[in-house]
Amino acid sequence: MTPAEAQRLLDTADCIASADTVQAALDRLAADIALRLAGECPLVLPVMGGAVVFAGQLLPRLAFPLEFDYLHVTRYRGDTRGGAMEWKVLPGKNVQGRVVLVLDDILDEGETLAAIHGKLTEMGAARVLTAVLTDKDNGLDKPLRADFTGFPVPNRYVFGCGMDVYGYWRNLPAIYALKDNA
């Protein structure tokens, strides 16, 4: 895909959550997370690369001690459909006995987040909680529900705020949906 083609995707997409909507959701998520985890000193693990924007905006809103690391697992590899799970990086910090908060950009089918939850539990985490900026309203019986959710998005291919479309547009402050799952 060329940059011009990426621009056409954005130009024809529908804005489904404005930058203000995203910021309000981040404020609410931070307040909810603080209520549950302020005394826990959690290890916060964003899922690279989609959660980098989410984490970068959420972390400054969490005014309590925490540790930060990351993990990288993917099913998309620049496509619009998920495939086989590929583990790229496990957390560098020891999760044994820790309260862990996993951050991800979207809860779509739930397979990736469920696999991460299972892996961290297997690695000895005392408790694994999950926070997602968006939860796709796709009618599926997901294997895991997020503990903290920013807002639902329609069952369309969405991008912006860390979510990409063919590798582009993670940098948008708002969230958009493709017209026809292009």
CB burial readout 55-64, b (16+ within 10 A) else e:
bebbeeebee
Answer whether residue 150 shows pLDDT above 70.
Answer: yes
d(CA 44, CA 22): 20
- Find the mean pLDDT for residues 71-78: 73
Name which of 6-10, 48-52, 132-136, 170-174 the model is least confident about. Answer: 48-52
- Find the mean pLDDT for residues 170-174: 97
Answer whether residue 78 shows pLDDT above 60.
Answer: no
Q: Which residue has the higher pLDDT, 48 or 35?
A: 35
- 108 is a catalytic site residue: yes
pLDDT of res. 83: 63
pLDDT of res. 117: 96
> Taking the CB of residue 89, how many other CB atoms lie within 10 A of it?
11
Residue among 104, 108, 135, 164 flagged as catalytic? 108
* Domains along the chain with CATH numbers: 3-75+94-174 (3.40.50.2020)
pLDDT of res. 81: 59
